Amino acid sequence: MEDLTQEEWVTQLEHDENAVILDVRTDDEVQEGIIPNAVHLDIYKGQEFINELHSLDKSKNYYVYCRSGKRSGQACSIMAQLGFENAYNLEGGILKWEGDLIDIE
């Protein structure tokens, strides 16, 4: 796992053909907006979250964020334990995000 500043996260993501953006916030938080193309998996769903992680392609590079960066850091640690080699945590989470957000319908 690697913590990246927003600038590092965006730059690396732009040049990564194998990238997946992962939002680990709650359903209520996601209603406030989500980074475009992000996949939503709520870390607070416990075993269901773990099961959803198992269904993901471990060969991809995951760019993970939450509200403040704490839960996404935990998610990256869990992913590392499950055998994911590349999980990048967005420092400061969506609170520090300056890019676009889209509404979830």
The pTM score is 0.94
2-96 is a CATH 1.20.120.160 domain: no
With 90 as the cut, is the pLDDT of residue 105 above it? no
Residue 77 pLDDT grade (very low, low, confident, very high; cuts 50, 70, 90)? very high
Q: In this predicted model, what pLDDT tens digit does every residue of 44-58 receive, in sequence order?
A: 999 999 999 999 999
DSSP string, 11-38: HHHHT-TTEEEEE-S-HHHHTT-B-TTP
Selected catalytic residue, list 66, 75, 79, 87 = 66
76 is catalytic: no
With 90 as the cut, is the pLDDT of residue 15 above it? yes
CA-to-CA separations, 11 to 6, 16, 19, 103, in angstroms, rounded: 8, 9, 12, 23
Task: Tell me the β-bridge partners of 20.
Answer: 62
Determine what percent of the chain is predicted with pLDDT higher than 90: 88
